[in-house]
């Protein structure tokens, strides 16, 4: 029995020893942590005992060697206020300096080499943003809320996120294709360079932590140390100036300001295709002009309010307004030409207009003369045969007693047929045939009636013939007026086509010039 129980006793002793070792380790660990906590507390108490946070951290004889390094990393461009010329940025600020009044020996405090202390208990450099647009103080405890990291050799590091509103001169000349350069100037407000010399650190100004803006692209960033004298002080001040270059993304403005404007302008060109007889050309032009005016009022809300320079978009809108107004003037002039002949008298078209505009320019622009119904081309020989037949009929009917009427009728008829060998219209042909038929019916009267009513019949026939010739004159005059109206309408068509191409060229050139200037 004893031999069987001996292994059990050995195993129980081993388990007991293991438990004792674990308990001893836990107790030792707790004592060490407690001693470290107590050591850190003692260290902070010793550091701040008798410490004055207003005292310069460098002794008087070493002040000339005192330096503060300043770094900044851009995290996000929050907003660019074109009207007030203010930009809002989220950044990470890094400041480092050495405080010789806060040093210790790590061996005396349990090997502690670094502590973190509330900045309100320590001396901190009063580095502020010179071109701040905030009503609050742009530095120090009012801006940075994190703790200061202090190493055993007195090196102090203050890392803090912050949001700044800084002034930036906005140049909107090339809006919405503009590129802006903004600076942020950091420096001490009370310490001259002999007491505090600020230098830029070597950390990057932006990294993968940067949040891209939906409206602006970050093209570049740089920093530079400057030394500048001011009228207030005997010694110069040093500062670190950080420069950012941003470029606006124009896609939003292209689709919301430029494309709708181009669609409205295309309505101007569409108006040149409407026939003047429709009576809607003036209405369309005025409607387009009013639509452009309303759109300009809506678009002005997105334009930067700046009186120092006129943006490209504003020039583009004014150009479009001038083009729309000019199209209205051109439309009025074309309608005036189209209705130049009111139908009461012939208004001759100037000869140079016929030669240079209707013939040469009309052919060049491809404007054809309107097709008329004047297809009756009768030769002069047929006209003279008709006159000779009319003369014979008049001789048989009137005899020698009415030679003066016959002579006048033949003279009028001959003057009408010999001046132009081609009849002007079907109406003239019909009226000429009617005259022949009237004169040819008189020989069919019997001789007795002709003798008895020679004087009365001759007088009535002469009146009838004169009435027919007056009607012919009236129809011919009417035909001349219609032909003159067709000439003026043809001129209106040529000018209409000419103004159309002029406006196409002007709109394209003005759009390309204005937008390429901005791009």
Q: What percent of the chain has pLDDT over 70?
A: 71
Q: What is the CA radius of gyration of the chain?
A: 52
pLDDT at res. 227: 92
Mean pLDDT, to the nearest integer, of 64-75?
85
Give domain limits for the chain. 60-248, 253-369+496-516
- When pLDDT is cut at 50, 70 and 90, the band that residue 351 belongs to is confident
Q: How far is CA 130 from CA 403, 476, 507, in A?
A: 117, 92, 47
The string of pLDDT tens digits covering residues 361-410 is: 888 888 877 665 444 444 444 544 555 555 556 556 555 444 544 454 44
- Give the residues across from 217 on adjacent strands: 247
pLDDT digits (tens, 9 = 90+) for 12-47: 656 666 666 766 666 555 544 445 568 888 898 998
Yes or no: is domain 60-248 CATH 3.40.50.150? no
Model pTM? Answer: 0.65
Q: How confident is the prediction for the chain on average, in pLDDT? A: 77
Q: Per CATH, which fold does 253-369+496-516 belong to?
A: Methane Monooxygenase Hydroxylase; Chain G, domain 1 (1.20.58)
384 Cβ contact partners less than 8 Å away, ≥ 6 residues apart: 417
190 versus 303: which is more confidently predicted? 190
Please check the confidence at residue 462 and state whether its pLDDT lies above 70. no
Predicted local confidence at residue 446, as pLDDT: 46
CA distance 461 to 453: 11
For 84-137, write each residue's pLDDT tens digit.
Answer: 889 999 999 999 999 888 999 999 898 899 999 999 999 999 899 999 988 877
The answer to whether residue 451 scores a pLDDT higher than 70 is no
3 state DSSP class of 92 = strand
Instruction: Transcribe 345-373 into DSSP letters.
Output: S--PPPHHIIIIIIIIIHHHHTPPPPP-S
CA dihedral of 277, 279, 281, 285, whole degrees rounded to 10: 170
């Amino acid at each position: 029995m004893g031999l069987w129980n001996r292994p059990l006793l050995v195993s129980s002793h081993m388990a007991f020893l293991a438990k004792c070792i674990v308990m001893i380790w836990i107790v030792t660990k707790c004592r060490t942590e407690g001693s470290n906590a107590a050591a850190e507390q003692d260290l902070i108490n010793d550091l701040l005992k008798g410490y004055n946070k207003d005292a310069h951290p460098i002794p008087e004889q070493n002040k000339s060697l005192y330096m503060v390094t300043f770094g900044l990393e851009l995290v996000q461009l929050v907003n660019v206020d074109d009207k007030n010329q203010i930009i809002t940025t989220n950044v990470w600020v890094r400041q480092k300096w050495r405080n010789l009044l806060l040093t210790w020996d790590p061996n005396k405090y349990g090997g502690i080499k670094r502590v973190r202390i509330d900045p309100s208990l320590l001396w901190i450099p009063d580095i502020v943003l010179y071109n701040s647009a905030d009503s609050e103080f742009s530095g120090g405890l009012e801006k940075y809320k994190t703790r200061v990291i202090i190493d055993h050799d007195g090196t102090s590091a203050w890392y803090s996120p912050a949001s700044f509103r800084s002034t930036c001169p906005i140049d909107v000349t090339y809006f919405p294709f503009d590129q802006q350069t903004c600076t942020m100037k950091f420096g001490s407000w009370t310490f001259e360079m002999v007491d505090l010399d600020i230098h830029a650190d070597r950390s990057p100004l932006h990294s993968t932590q940067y949040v891209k803006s939906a409206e602006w692209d970050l093209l570049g960033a740089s920093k530079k140390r400057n030394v500048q004298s001011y009228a207030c002080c005997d010694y110069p001040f040093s500062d670190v100036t950080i420069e950012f270059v941003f470029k606006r993304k124009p896609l939003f403005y292209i689709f919301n300001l430029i494309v709708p404007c181009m669609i409205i302008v295309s309505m101007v060109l569409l108006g040149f295709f409407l026939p003047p007889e429709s009576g809607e050309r003036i209405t369309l032009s005025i409607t387009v002009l009013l639509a452009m005016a309303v759109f300009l009022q809506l678009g002005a809300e997105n334009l930067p309010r700046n009186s120092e320079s006129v943006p490209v978009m504003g020039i583009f809108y004014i150009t479009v307004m001038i083009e729309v107004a000019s199209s209205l003037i051109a439309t009025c002039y074309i309608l005036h030409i189209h209705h130049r002949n009111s139908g009461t008298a012939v208004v001759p078209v100037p000869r140079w207009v016929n030669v240079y505009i209707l013939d040469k320019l009309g052919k060049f622009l491809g404007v054809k003369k309107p097709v008329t119904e004047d297809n009756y081309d009768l030769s002069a020989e047929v006209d003279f045969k008709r006159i000779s037949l009319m003369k014979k009929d008049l001789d048989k009917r009137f005899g020698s007693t009415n030679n003066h009427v016959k002579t006048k009728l033949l003279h009028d008829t001959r003057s009408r047929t010999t001046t132009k060998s081609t009849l002007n219209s079907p109406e003239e042909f019909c009226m000429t045939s009617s005259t022949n038929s009237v004169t040819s019916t008189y020989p069919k009267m019997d001789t007795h009636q002709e003798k008895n009513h020679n004087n009365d019949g001759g007088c009535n026939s002469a009146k009838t013939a004169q009435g027919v010739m007056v009607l012919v004159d009236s129809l011919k005059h009417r035909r001349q007026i219609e032909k003159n109206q067709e000439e003026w309408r043809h001129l209106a068509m040529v000018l209409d086509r000419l103004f159309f191409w002029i406006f196409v060229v002007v709109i394209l050139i003005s759009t390309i010039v204005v937008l390429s200037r901005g791009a």
